Amino acid sequence: MDNQNVFQRYEIKYLISKEQQERIIRGIKKYMEGDVYGRSTICNLYFDTDNYLLIRRSLEHPVYKEKLRLRSYGTAKPDSRVFMELKKKYKSVVYKRRIGMTEREAMRRLRGEESLMDTQIGREMDYFLRQYQYPRPAVFLSYEREAFYEKGDRDFRVTFDENILWRDSELSLLAGAYGMPVLDEGQVLMEIKTGASIPLWMTALLTENHIYKTSFSKYGAVYKNIYDNQMGGICYA
């Protein structure tokens, strides 16, 4: 088990059209370069309590919130490297702790069959798991991502997520990327990730293309869909 990372940054989200995406990509190429892996498929397994306590708290927009997910790049196999991520947000700043391990190892630890390694990040994740009595897999989310980094400063990133799909069955990173769409047709989720301020050239590009930040959570949007479906079922029973 290795690849332990800590990230601290702001994450600003924008729901844009395909046309706006194309204009933004043309505009940033002078200042940014694409990720070496190009366009990639990101698969996430979100963990929550039986009554969705974590996402319900998050949607109340508290000062502090947290969530746990398991991430793979592409469909995983039991021996594929995946990343267990504990994501916290306090006063608009996002703190992410991440540990890399195989999918098989990750699932054993998430079920409480083994403890994580005795490091600061491992102890934080173990505490989280015990605090919520080992939350269960709740939602699978996948999307196609294209990422760009500022030349000479990889701390400033812009990502575009398309074809965002979700499901609440067959909850495994081994089962492939499929499900129901989160966004309307033609919509793209753009995110700016930075440890400092947004460069002036990017601010000008956003203004020129009439792009404004929004409050959006992929998992939150999925939970609202699940809740609406449950309430619909109750209404028509």
Query: Going by DSSP bridges, is the β-strand pair 136-150/32-34 parallel, antiparallel, or unpaired?
Result: antiparallel
- The answer, yes or no, to whether residue 231 has pLDDT greater than 70, is no
- Kindly indicate the confidence band of residue 229, based on its pLDDT and cuts at 50, 70 and 90: confident
- The answer, yes or no, to whether residue 236 has pLDDT greater than 60, is no
Q: How many CB atoms lie within 10 A of CB 201?
A: 14
CB 137 within 8 A of CB 168: no
Per-residue pLDDT tens over the stretch 3-32: 668 888 999 999 999 999 999 999 999 999
C-alpha–C-alpha distance, residues 151 and 181, integer Å:
33
Domain of residue 68 covers 2-235
Per-residue pLDDT tens over the stretch 117-147: 788 898 999 999 999 999 999 999 999 999 9
User: How much is the pTM?
Assistant: 0.91
Three-state DSSP class for residue 159? strand
List the CATH number of the domain containing 197.
Answer: 3.20.100.30
Amino acid at 218: K
- The answer, yes or no, to whether residue 232 has pLDDT greater than 70, is no
Q: How many domains does the chain have?
A: 1
Long-range (24+ apart) CB contacts under 8 A made by 180-183 are 180/225, 182/141, 182/218, 182/221, 182/222, 182/225, 183/15
C-alpha–C-alpha distance, residues 160 and 29, integer Å:
14
